[in-house]
Structure 1
Amino acid sequence: MSHIALYRAWRPQTFGDTVGQQHIIQTLQNAIGEQRISHAYLFNGPRGTGKTTTAKVFAKAINCRQGPALEPCNQCEACTGITAGSIMDVVEIDAASNRGIDEIRDIRDKVRYAPSDVRYKVYIIDEVHMLTSEAFNALLKTLEEPPGHVVFILATTEPHKLPATIISRCQRFDFRQVTLEEQTGRLRQICAEEKMEASEEALAYIARLSDGGMRDAISLLEQVAAFSRGKITLEDALEVTGGIAAEQFAKLAEAIQERNVAAMLPLVEGLMQAGKSPDKCLENLVYYFRDLLLIKLVPGSSVATERIVDPERFRVMADAYERDRLFRMIDILHQYQVELKHAVQPQTLFEVALLKICTAPAAAGEEALAARPAEVSAPAGELARLERQVKQLEQKIEQLMRSGSGSGPPVTGISASPSSSQPTGRSAGFGSRGGTGVAIRSGVKLGPFIAGKGSEEFQQIRMQWNEVLQRVKEAGISIHAWLINGEPVSFSQDTVLIAFKNEIHRETTEKPANREVIERVLQSVLKREFRFSTIMVKEWLAATEDRPEEKPEPLMMNDGTDASSSRPEWVEEAVKLFGEELVVISED
C-alpha cells in the first residue's frame, strides 16, 4: 500500500478517531450539540497534527443526515460524499497555489447562494497565511457579513502572518503536537490492522523522529515497512532514516566525555562511511544531550524519559557529565546546526563541531584553569608554596623601593621573565637610567613611555580600553581574565605599555597565542597596527617617581595671565581627568 493510500486508510473519519486533540474535539462537539455553530474557525498548529482532517470531520458532522450530530454516521449520502470529495458545497482550497484576489472574489460571489446538497456550505482554506494582502481584504469583507448557511474553516501553521482583523473574526483553536505515547499507540494499531510486525523500540523511534506530526509518523512507518520486508526493527528504522544507533551514541558520548579526540574521530569516520547524513547526526546528538540534561535535572520524571528507549543506560551516562558542560555543548551544537544548513562541506563542519565540544572546557572557571601556566596547575601544596614565594618577592620589592637602592640581597623565589618583544638585558640596576631610557628588570626602556604618558594619543587609548577588553572577551574569555588585571599606563610610537600587579597575569598575557589575539583586537579597535609591552605596577611607579614628569605649558587666559592661578575648582578637576592638553579655557 502506498503512503497516500495508507494515510487515507488511517485518516480519522470521526471525532473519536482523532489523535491528540481531545480538548478541541470536545469544544466542537459541544458547539454542535447546542446548535452554536460559528461562521468562521481558525485551526492553527504544527504540520501533521490533524487540522484539515478535523475540518472535514466537522463538515460531515454538521451536514450529516442524522444531525447535526456529535459524530458523523459515515453512512449517509452527505458523509460519504464529503469523504469522497463529490459534494460541491464542501470546498477545500489550497491557498499556497490559489492565493490571489480572483480566487477569493469567486468565493465571495458564490457564498450568497444556498447549498444545494447539504445543510451548510463549508469552505476549508488550507495554508491560509499564503494569501496576498488583496485577497485578505476581499476575505475580510465576506467574514464581516457572512450568510447564515456558510462556515469558513481557515487552517495555517503560521497564524502570526494573518491580519489581526481576520483572526478577530474567527474562533481560534490551537492544535498541539501529538504526544509520543499517542503516536506510538496509533502506529501499533496500524501495524496490527495491516498485519505488520514491529518492535516497540522501532515504533518509539519512528514516533520520536516525526516530531509530533502523526502524518509524518505514518509516512516513516510505511517507508521502514517497505525496507524491512518482515518484522520492523530498530536497526531497520535507523538504516532508512539515517539515524545513529544507541550503541554508537554511547561510544561517541563516552569519547566526548573523556575528551578523547583519538577515539572520537574513527567513530565519526565510521558514521560517514555508513552513509549517515551530517545534519541528521548533529540533530540526533542535540536530542541525545538534551535527554541527558533532562535526566540530570529531573531525575525520575516520566516526561524526561518518555523519548528514551533505555533510561537506565542514559542515567549512567548522565552521571558522567557535569550539568554546565551539557548546557555548553548543546549551545555549541545548536550554533553549528544552523551553519550546517548552508555549509559547502557539511562533513567537515560536523567534525569541527564534535572537536569543539570534545575539547572545550565546561565553564569559565575551568577555561581559566586550563589557560594557566603549568606551574599554577600544580597540586594544592605546590600552589601554596608558589603563592608564598610571590608574596615574599613583592615584600622585598617594596623594601627596595622605599630604600631607593638598586642593590641589595639577592631575591629568591620566582623571577620575572622579560617581555617577549623586548631586549632581555639587565645591565642597569633597578631604577637606574641608561643612555636611551630607563632600563628595568623586564627589559622595557621606559624613557619614551615616561615622555608619552600624558600624550593625546594615550588619552584616546584609555578612552577606548573598555572596548578593547570587551573585544578580547569575545575572542577568548580566558585571555580577558588575565588582561583585565592590567591597565594601560603609557604609549610610545606604536606600543601600548600595560602595567600588572600580579606577575602570573603579566607572564600569561605575554604568551605568543594570547599576544596575537590582544594585538589583533588593538589593531581592530584603534584602526592602526599596535603592539604592547608589559611591566609591573611597582616598577612603573618607581620609574616615574625617579624621573619627574615634564609639565606642559600652563594654560593662559586671553589677557596673558596664568589660567591655573585663578581657575575654579571644577576646572581643576577637568584638568585632572583629561590633562592640560585637552582642556581649553575661554571667556564668554
Structure 2
Amino acid sequence: MTPTTLYLKYRPQKLSELDSAGPREELIKIFKSEKFPHAFLFTGPKGIGKTSAARIIAKKVNCLNKKQFEPCNDCVNCLSITRGSNVDVLEIDAASNRGIDDIKELREKIKLAPSCLKYKVYIIDEVHMLTTEAFNALLKTLEEPPAHALFILCTTDPEKLPKTITSRCLVINFKKATKKEIVDKLRKVCDKEKWQYEEKALEEIAKLSDGSFRDANKVLDQVSFSGKILLEEVNKLSGVSVDFNIEDFLLILQKRQAKEAVLWINKQVDQGINLKVLVEKLLDAARNILLTHFGIEEEKLENKFDFSQEELECLIGLFTRAYGELRFAVIAQLPLEMAVIEWCQIEGEDGKREVSRDVGAGSEKTEKSDPLQTSHPHSTSNFSPPSQFSFDDVVKKWSEILEKVKLLNHSVLAFLKATRPLNCEDGFLVLEVFYKFHKDQLEKDQCRKIFEKAAGEVLGCEVKLKCNLSETKRQPQPLPKVDFIPPTDKPLVSSQTNDNADIIKLAEEIFNKGGTIQ
C-alpha cells in the first residue's frame, strides 16, 4: 500500500479541475487563445492552488498531444512533470534561495536550451522573499527573456514585490476560498472515497481551514480513519469539548448571568478546550448576529438573540481585548472571566437589564425597568425633578460622583478625567470636554447612562448629561521660574537635614509612612 495524503491525491491536474473559479476561467481563456505571456504572477493566500496551477501550465505548454486548452496527462512530458522528475521544470523556493548568487546561477542556466521540452519553466514560490539585489538580477531576465523560457512567480504577499517585477508579469489573483467552495470540495472527496459524513462536520472543517483547500483536505484526512466524518471528531481535533455550544454561552451573556458565565468558562477549561478557539467562535457568532442587524445572514443560528448593535460592539470589544491578553495570562481563563464580569456590570440598552455587580448571584434580570433604575431600588425613590440640583452642588460633589462612576465602570471614569463641569442649563449638567474622542465616547448610550446614574445617586435627583467640546485644548502647566544659582564649591545640602530628627521626618514624608522609622 502506497501512503498518500488527500491533498496530493486530489491535487488538480487540469485547468478545469482548479478549485478557484476566477483563476480557472481566466487561465482557460488565455490558453484557448493559444497566446500566453512569458511570465505569470500568481498572488493569494497559502493552500489555494497557485503552485498546482503553475504545474498544469508547465504541462500545457509542453504537452505533445494538443487537446484544446488542457494538457493530456498521458504523454511522456505530462507524466514526467506530474511526477516532478523533469529537469526542464524547476521549482525554486525563494525563501531558501533568495540571494543574488542564486538568481545569477538561474540566469546562466536559462540561456541553455531545454533538454527534452519545448519550454523551460521556472516556478519561483514565495518570490517576495528575494533580496533587493536578487530582484534586480531577476528583472534583467524578465526584461529580455529567452524564447524558450517561461516564468511563473507565486507569492502570498504581493505588496512586497517591486513594481518593476509586477509590471512585467500577467497577474492572476487567487482569492481566499469561500466556505461554500470548501464544503463542495470536501463533499466531492467524501463521495469519491465513499465516506459517510455529517454536513455540520464539513462546515466546521471549512471554518478551521480558513479559506485554504489544502488545509481543509489535511483536516479531512485526520478525521477520516473510521470512514465516517463526524462533527465530534472534528471538534476533538480543534480542541473543543463534545458538549461545547457557543450559543449556550451567548444566551448566558444575553441574560448577564455572571456566575453561570464564569462557571461555563471553567467547565470548558476543565475539559481541555483551547481558549483561543473559544474566543474565536464567540467573536464569529457575535459578528453573525451583528450582520443580521443590517440584513446580512452569513450563517443561520439555532437561537434568536436580542442584542442591540451597541451591545454587540461592546461585547466584541471586550473579548477581542481578552483574546490579546490570553498569551500573557498567569491564569489561563482569567482574561475571559474579567471580560464576562465587566460585561455583566454594563447596563443593557434602554435599561432592559440591571447591572449585576455580584458575580456569585447569577440571577436572571430581564424585567423592564426605568432607564435610571439601579441594582438598589430604594435609590430611585430619592430622585427629584432636574431643577433640584445646582451647579454648586455638582462642583462640591464632583469627586464623589467620580468615585461612584469608578464603581460602575473604569473606562467611563477615564473619559471623565478629561472633562470638567461647565454649568447647568434646562435640567442638563453640561461638561466641558477637551478632546473630541472623549466627547464621542461619553455621548454613547452606555457611557452616558452610567454617568447619569452615578450623578443621580450622588445628587439625589435625576441628571441628564450634555457635553460641549472645548475650543481650547488643555495646556501643560508652565515650569516654575527658578532664580539663577551661582556656582559654588560648597555642597548644596539643606540645613534642615543636619540633625537625625529632621532626616527621619523627611524620610517619613517621602515614603508616606505614618509611623516612626526604627
Q: Under a length normalisation based on structure 2, what TM-score does the superposition of the two structures give?
A: 0.71
Q: Which letter maps to 1:250? A: E
Q: 2 CA distance for matches of 1:359 and 1:148?
A: 71
The yes-or-no answer on 1:11 pairing with 2:8 is no
| 1:215-254 superposed matches below 5 A | 215-226=214-225, 229-243=226-240, 248-254=245-251
| 1:364-379 superposed matches below 5 A | 377=373
Q: 1 CA distance for matches of 2:15 and 2:172?
A: 15
Q: 1 CA distance for matches of 2:232 and 2:241?
A: 9
SS at match of 1:43: strand
State whether residues 417 and 507 of structure 1, in contact with CA within 8 Å, keep that contact through their aligned partners in structure 2. no
The yes-or-no answer on 1:37 pairing with 2:36 is yes
Corresponding position of 1:353? 339
Corresponding position of 1:493? none
SS at match of 2:293: helix
Q: Which letter maps to 1:238? A: N
Q: 1:145 to 1:258 in 2, by over 3 A?
A: same
| 1:15-414 superposed matches below 5 A | 15-19=15-19, 21-67=20-66, 69-226=68-225, 229-243=226-240, 248-298=245-295, 301=297, 304-305=298-299, 311=300, 313-314=302-303, 316=304, 318=305, 320-343=306-329, 345-361=331-347, 377=373, 386-388=383-385, 391=387
Q: 2 CA distance for matches of 1:487 and 1:46?
A: 55
SS at match of 2:223: helix
Corresponding position of 2:485? none
Q: Deviations over 1:420-476 (max 9, x none)?
A: 999xxxxxxxxxxxxxxxxxxxxxxxxxxxxxxxxxxxxxxxxxxxxxxxxxxx963
Q: 1:386 to 1:62 in 2, by over 3 A?
A: same
Q: Which letter maps to 2:336? A: F
Q: 1:347 to 1:171 in 2, by over 3 A?
A: same
Q: 2 CA distance for matches of 1:232 and 1:147?
A: 50
Q: Which letter maps to 1:16? A: S
State whether residues 99 and 132 of structure 1, in contact with CA within 8 Å, keep that contact through their aligned partners in structure 2. yes
The yes-or-no answer on 1:476 pairing with 2:411 is yes
Q: Deviations over 1:506-532 (max 9, x none)?
A: 98599xxxxxxxxxxxxxx8699xxxx
Q: 1:103 to 1:357 in 2, by over 3 A?
A: farther
Q: Deviations over 1:385-413 (max 9, x none)?
A: 8443x525769x9xxxxxxxxxxxxxxxx
SS at match of 1:297: coil
Deviation at 1:324, TM superposition (A): 1.6
Q: 1:4 to 1:297 in 2, by over 3 A?
A: farther
Q: 1:481 to 1:282 in 2, by over 3 A?
A: same
Corresponding position of 2:491? none
State whether residues 22 and 174 of structure 2, in contact with CA within 8 Å, keep that contact through their aligned partners in structure 1. no
| Greater relative contact order, per chain length (Cα 8 Å cut-off, separation 6+) | 2
Deviation at 1:218, TM superposition (A): 0.4
Q: Which letter maps to 1:14? A: K
| 1:415-494 superposed matches below 5 A | 476-477=411-412, 480=415, 484=419, 486-487=421-422
State whether residues 243 and 284 of structure 1, in contact with CA within 8 Å, keep that contact through their aligned partners in structure 2. no
Q: 2 CA distance for matches of 1:95 and 1:117?
A: 25
State whether residues 242 and 276 of structure 1, in contact with CA within 8 Å, keep that contact through their aligned partners in structure 2. yes
Q: Deviations over 1:327-367 (max 9, x none)?
A: 2212222233234345554432233334334444467x879
Larger helix share, 1 or 2: 1
User: Which runs of 5 or more residues in structure 2 are unaligned?
Assistant: 357-369, 401-408, 424-451, 461-475, 480-518
Deviation at 1:243, TM superposition (A): 3.2
Q: Deviations over 1:82-111 (max 9, x none)?
A: 000111111111111111112111111111
Q: Deviations over 1:98-151 (max 9, x none)?
A: 111121111111111221211211100111111111111111111111112111
Q: 1 CA distance for matches of 2:109 and 2:192?
A: 43
State whether residues 41 and 152 of structure 2, in contact with CA within 8 Å, keep that contact through their aligned partners in structure 1. yes
Q: Which runs of 4+ in 1 moved over 6 A?
A: 382-385, 415-418, 525-528
State whether residues 240 and 272 of structure 2, in contact with CA within 8 Å, keep that contact through their aligned partners in structure 1. no
Q: 1 CA distance for matches of 2:70 and 2:380?
A: 78
Q: Deviations over 1:159-201 (max 9, x none)?
A: 1111111111111111011222221122122122223221111
Q: 1:332 to 1:393 in 2, by over 3 A?
A: closer
Q: Which letter maps to 2:169? A: C
Q: 1:152 to 1:485 in 2, by over 3 A?
A: same
SS at match of 2:152: strand
State whether residues 92 and 125 of structure 1, in contact with CA within 8 Å, keep that contact through their aligned partners in structure 2. yes
More deviation in 264-273 or 186-195?
186-195
State whether residues 329 and 357 of structure 1, in contact with CA within 8 Å, keep that contact through their aligned partners in structure 2. yes
Deviation at 1:250, TM superposition (A): 2.2
Q: Which letter maps to 1:33? A: K
State whether residues 389 and 459 of structure 2, in contact with CA within 8 Å, keep that contact through their aligned partners in structure 1. no
Q: 1:361 to 1:153 in 2, by over 3 A?
A: farther
Q: 1 CA distance for matches of 2:93 and 2:107?
A: 16
Q: 1:73 to 1:475 in 2, by over 3 A?
A: same
State whether residues 293 and 326 of structure 1, in contact with CA within 8 Å, keep that contact through their aligned partners in structure 2. yes
Q: 2 CA distance for matches of 1:215 and 1:273?
A: 32
User: Which runs of 5 or more residues in structure 1 are unaligned?
Assistant: 306-310, 398-414, 423-473, 489-501, 511-524, 529-588
Deviation at 1:23, TM superposition (A): 2.4
State whether residues 279 and 346 of structure 1, in contact with CA within 8 Å, keep that contact through their aligned partners in structure 2. no
Q: Percent identity?
A: 35
SS at match of 2:35: coil
More deviation in 37-46 or 96-105?
96-105
Q: Under a length normalisation based on structure 1, what TM-score does the superposition of the two structures give?
A: 0.63
Q: 1:178 to 1:352 in 2, by over 3 A?
A: same
Q: 2 CA distance for matches of 1:503 and 1:245?
A: 43
Corresponding position of 1:468? none
Q: Which letter maps to 1:324? A: E
Q: 1:360 to 1:91 in 2, by over 3 A?
A: farther
Compare CA radii of gyration and give the structure with the larger one.
1
State whether residues 63 and 77 of structure 2, in contact with CA within 8 Å, keep that contact through their aligned partners in structure 1. yes
